[in-house]
Amino acid sequence: MYHAVAMEASSIGGSKPSPFRSYRETVAGNDGFDRINAALTCPIRLRAVGREAPDLDLKGTIGPDVSVWRMRSVTGFESLPRFDENVYTLSVPLRGHFARDADGFAYTADASQASLIRSSRILRTRCAPRSEVVHCNIRAHALEERLEVLTGSRRPAFRPLADLSSLPMRALAHTMRRLAGDLDEGANALSTPLLHDLLLNQILAAWPQEEGWHGHGEENAARVVARSLDFIEAHLAEPITVSQIARAAAASVRTLQASFRSQTGQTPIGYILERRLERAHADLQANAGRLHVSQIAYRWGFFHLSDFSRRYRTRYGCLPSETSRRGA
């Protein structure tokens, strides 16, 4: 017998249209999987395993970029790729285990582990009898755009399997359970988008990267520094903070500082001081005694004349006033 021919979906948040929907679906019987495959909009199709009449219970939320659902089955089932869509599949077993064949490797995940992989690489996933798994589909562009904001890179390289023992990974699994739980009964248009957004951040912060990821580090650092230099040059005569530079470079402050050290051997502040010193030197050479040294120093952000003179003499081997006189 098949219960609920169509997806039982409801808009979250009352009468105002919402891009987030909750759904609940239950199937029992051999014809159930055919009908549920027609209703599902995710890039997989479900298939019964064994001779026993299959059963499956689904519950979750669908959003513009993230869909999360819990799948519970006494008999077990298989999922196979249905169409190639640019999404990541994140799976967390709550009970039992699942086995996955994906693009040249195979692994089994139990309740202590989770899997994250591009859906296009998955050949087959088999959920064991009496298993309960939370699955999540995330559009690749959502993760990659968020990654670019946080690190300056759009090239994630997630390990396909991760341990759930760390606190950040347990928090990620908890968010998935919330989204696949009772949100259709208690959530609203505010909490559901926040949880979807939180999940993206948790994945990028907690999920381990392949070792090969570090091979892209120099390329990523070069892009961050290039964007930073463009911003610095355009605002060199203005007050600049490291946070402003990081935002302009679409990187975190920590990534910005690390990128600067690897690419220039300097900190961002050290680089700014050097460039301002060079500009002050050029102005002093062209000054011809018209402006006081302090006026040129202030123009380029040096408000302590003794500190400016010390830095200048260390760099150019003479006092600023000597350069100004020679230009006269």
- Each domain of the chain, given as residue ranges in start order, spans 2-209, 213-265, 271-326
Whether the pLDDT of residue 129 is over 80: the answer is yes
**pLDDT band at 13, cuts 50/70/90?**
very low
Whether the pLDDT of residue 43 is over 70: the answer is no
**Segment of 183-197, 270-284, 287-301 carrying the highest mean pLDDT:** 270-284
Q: Is 312 left (phi over 0), alpha (psi -120 to 50) or beta?
A: alpha
Return the structure tokens found at 318: 């003479």
- With tokens 């959502």, the residue in question is 142
Whether the pLDDT of residue 121 is over 90: the answer is no
Given this model, what pLDDT does residue 276 score?
A: 92
Given this model, what pLDDT does residue 152 score?
A: 66
Given this model, what pLDDT does residue 277 score?
A: 93
Taking the C-alpha atoms of residue 125 and residue 298, their distance in angstroms, rounded to an integer, is 66
Given this model, what pLDDT does residue 153 score?
A: 67
- With tokens 């347990």, the residue in question is 170
Q: State the CATH architecture for 2-209.
A: Sandwich (2.60)
Mind listing the pLDDT tens digit for each residue in 182-240?
Answer: 544 444 455 677 788 888 888 988 888 764 433 345 556 788 888 899 989 988 988 88
| pTM (two decimals) | 0.57
Given this model, what pLDDT does residue 214 score?
A: 38
Mind listing the pLDDT tens digit for each residue in 138-175?
Answer: 888 888 888 877 766 667 778 888 888 889 899 998 88
